Structure 1
Amino acid sequence: MDEEKENINKREGRKVTGSKQNEEDEKERIREIEKEENQEEHQKDLEEKSKRVSDGKGYSDILSRVINEGEKIFNLNKVSVLLSSTIAGLEIGFSYLLICALFYLLNGSVDEQIIYKLFGLAYPLGFILVILGKSALFTEQTSVLALPVLNGQRSIWEMLKVWGIVISGNLIGGILFVLFIGATADELNLFDQNTMLKIGTHVIDQKFWVVFLSAISAGWLMGLLTWLLNTTEEILTRIVLIFLITGTIGFVGLHHSIVGNLEAFGALLYSDSVHFSDYLLFLLLVLIGNGIGGAIVVGLFKYRIFEINEK
Structure 2
Amino acid sequence: MTQNSDRASQAIELLGQQKLELSDRDREEIIERIRPTALIIHETIRIEGESELCRPVSALAWSGLAAGLSMGFSLVAQGVLQANLPQQSWSSIIVSLGYSIGFVIVVMGRQQLFTENTLTVILPLLNDRRRKVFMRVLRLWAIVLASNLLGAFIFASIVAQAGVFPPEFQTAFGEIGLRVIDGGFWITLLRAIFAGWLIALMVWLLPAAESSQLWVIVIITSLVGLGEFPHIIAGSVEVFYAVAIKAVSWPEYFGKFMIPTLIGNILGGVTLVASLNHAQVAQDDL
**Deviation at 1:188?**
4.1
42 and 82 in structure 1: CA distance in 2 versus 1, 3 angstrom threshold: same
**Deviation at 1:116?**
3.7
Structure with bigger helix share is 1
Quick check: 1:52 aligned with 2:32?
yes
Quick check: 1:110 aligned with 2:87?
yes
Separation of aligned partners in 2, 1:123 and 1:138: 17
Partner of 1:203 in structure 2?
A: 180
Partner of 1:276 in structure 2?
A: 250
Q: Name stretches of at least 5 consecutive residues in structure 1 with no aligned partner.
A: 1-38
Partner of 1:41 in structure 2?
A: 21
Q: Percent identity?
A: 29
Q: Name stretches of at least 5 consecutive residues in structure 2 with no aligned partner.
A: 1-18
196 and 50 in structure 1: CA distance in 2 versus 1, 3 angstrom threshold: closer
Of residues 112, 128, 131, the one that matches 1:152 is 128
**Deviation at 1:201?**
1.1
RMSD: 2.2
Residue 200 of structure 2 contacts residue 269 of structure 2 at CA under 8 Å; is this kept in 1? yes
TM-score by length of structure 1 reads: 0.79
Of residues 220, 237, 241, the one that matches 2:197 is 220
Separation of aligned partners in 2, 1:201 and 1:181: 16
Residue 86 of structure 1 contacts residue 172 of structure 1 at CA under 8 Å; is this kept in 2? yes
Q: Which moved more, 1:187-196 or 1:61-70?
A: 187-196
Separation of aligned partners in 2, 1:141 and 1:84: 13
Residue 192 of structure 2 contacts residue 231 of structure 2 at CA under 8 Å; is this kept in 1? yes
Map 1:66-215 → 2, pairs under 5 A: 66-106=45-85, 109-111=86-88, 114-152=90-128, 155-183=133-161, 186-189=163-166, 191-215=168-192
Aligned length: 266
The one-letter amino acid of 2:251's match is: S
Separation of aligned partners in 2, 1:40 and 1:304: 39
Separation of aligned partners in 1, 2:268 and 2:105: 23
TM-score by length of structure 2 reads: 0.86
**Deviation at 1:157?**
2.8
**Deviation at 1:115?**
4.0
Separation of aligned partners in 2, 1:52 and 1:72: 27
